[in-house]
Amino acid sequence: MKKNIVFVLMFIITALFCVNVSAKEYEISNFDVVMSLSEEGDFLVEERITFHFLSGDFSYAYREIEGNVFTGLEYIGLEGINATITDYELDEGKDLNIKWYYDYIGDTAAFVFKYRGVAGLQSIGGKNVIEWTPTGAEWDVPIRDIDIYIKFPREPEELELRPSGDVVFQDSKEVHFHKDLLTPGREYVVYLSFPEMISMAGKKEPSPDSAWTKEDKLFFLSILFAGLLFSVIDLSRINRLRPEKGNYSVDELLLYEKAALYSNITDTRKGVNAQIFSLAQRGKIKLVSSIKKGVFAARKAEISVEILNTDGLDDIEKSIINNLKKHKTLKKFFEDYRWFSRVDKDIKNELRKKGFISPEREEMRKNIYISSLLLLFPSLGLFIIGGALSKPPLTGAATALLIIAFGRLIKGLLTDIMTAEALYLKKEAEKEIEEKKRTLDRLVKNRDGTAALSYFFSWIGYIILHRYFGSAVLGTYKKAFKRAEKAELPEWLGMDTSELGITLDALELIDLIDYMMVSMVYASYSGTATGAGAGGGTAGGGGGGAG
């Protein structure tokens, strides 16, 4: 055991050393941008970017500019300040992407990059507007010491600036913004507006009906409240059945049937899982765990299945046996998604034959879902029209319909398709499952590892069905199992330790049983599921990096 620990520690240290040696780390230590606004409304941009390399070797850098409101982006030039550029790759158009290669020169490399953003200036409501993300938002490293200089062709009047707290200098033809630090993935937007001095094509004039009046807001809130009220009333009228005892008792049900009722007929995979353990405990199959040595004494378990007896099985169990025979191992069995899709339908048909699923309530749920969709589509259409025309009544009606549509969807989910007898059996199955898990939890709490491990194997089918059974709960059980003084396998479970040698002390045997048990449960669950750029009306975006 000590040797194993030493080997594992050596492996971890070696891995960490390799990671540290090959890691690359850098930041932008300085980012200066000078933007000169032309008389045509173009942005003539010059960027000076300084890369500070903290660890690793670097040989290239790249810059990505997003078009957004620009009608086009044009490359002007690129030069290295203290690094020789050997080659570059360019893609320009709506967006501008450039990647350049250079000779590695040490701790820092500075470059000057120039481009033109065509028609970046906007005309909105009689004003010129600059809303710009000069650095972009998709850098995955910090950017320090940012200086943004904006130069005007002539003096603007009544200049509005944001963020005003970052303005360090302003005169008749220039504004200087400064930002000490921009964290990875964050955007820095500068906003300037002034009375229109350059008329831009495609002006954005505010619609006279765009501003909502008090009456508009009151109407919107009223119709919104009406939609909410309707949904609440609709949800309160769910047709619920009272559980009633019928022809079947819970003892007559197989585990997959109990599992289906316990999960409201939404999770048949767990039921199949539990039924496999039931088949094993009844002597129909045997689960055999082959545990093999791996690298650094790691162990890997694979659960194969031996078919022993197929007498007295129902159709679902026969289907399970046939698929186990086909795939040999639990891992491959649970990866057969087509079979699970078929058996899901077969299980539901079996429940219908026994009168556990109500055709009338299935039809009721179906109609509720259809009504939800019929309300959803017009609500989306009204949203689009109301937004385009700035009509509060249409937007309000769309919102109300959407609330009602989602309310109907929730009602469909809450509408049970089980019969009164099935609901009664569900409660009985819940009692069984809760009682089994509660008993195991008590044994674990009392630190009785031997009894806990034995009980787990005896009632594993019920315990894994519990809604709160998962990896965290299993981890707690494992700690108790490792304290077992005596470890005995049930008859239906075999363990092949031929590759591990024939001499095993008690502690190692318990460890192997524990590992095998965990692998067995996880194998039977295999196949189940247990930075944006600048948007809106801003100009620029994108990001960059080095490698």
Number of neighbouring beta carbons within 10 Å of residue 113: 22
For the stretch 326-382, pLDDT in tens is 998 888 888 888 998 899 999 999 999 999 998 999 899 999 999 989 988 888 888
Q: HSE, CB side, 13 Å, CA atoms: give it for residue 542.
A: 18
- 286, 288, 269: which is closest to 277 by C-alpha? 286
d(CA 41, CA 45): 13
| Cβ-based burial of 121 (10 A; exposed 0-12, middle 13-18, buried ≥19) | buried
Sheet with 299-307, side-by-side order of all strands = 299-307, 285-293, 493-496
pLDDT of residue 459: 93
Quick check: 526 pLDDT over 80?
no
Mean per-residue pLDDT of the chain: 82
CA distances to 254, 270, 302 from 275, in Å: 8, 9, 19
Handedness of CA 316, 319, 325, 328 (dihedral sign): negative
For the stretch 471-492, pLDDT in tens is 788 888 888 887 877 777 788 8
Quick check: 3 pLDDT over 70?
no
Taking a C-beta distance cutoff of 8 angstroms, is the pair 259, 271 a contact? yes
Phi, psi of 53 (to 5 degrees): -90, 120
For the stretch 147-179, pLDDT in tens is 999 999 999 988 999 999 999 999 888 999 999
Q: Is the peptide bond before 163 cis (omega within 30 degrees of 0)?
A: yes
pLDDT of residue 68: 79
CA distances to 36, 121, 139, 537 from 94, in Å: 20, 16, 20, 15
The three-class DSSP label of residue 464 is coil
| 471 Cβ neighbours under 8 A, 6+ residues apart | 530
pLDDT of residue 284: 94
Counting residues of the chain whose pLDDT is more than 70, the rounded percentage is 82
d(CA 47, CA 117): 13
pLDDT of residue 17: 37
d(CA 144, CA 128): 30
The three-class DSSP label of residue 137 is coil
- 460, 525, 522: which is closest to 492 by C-alpha? 460
pTM over 0.85: no
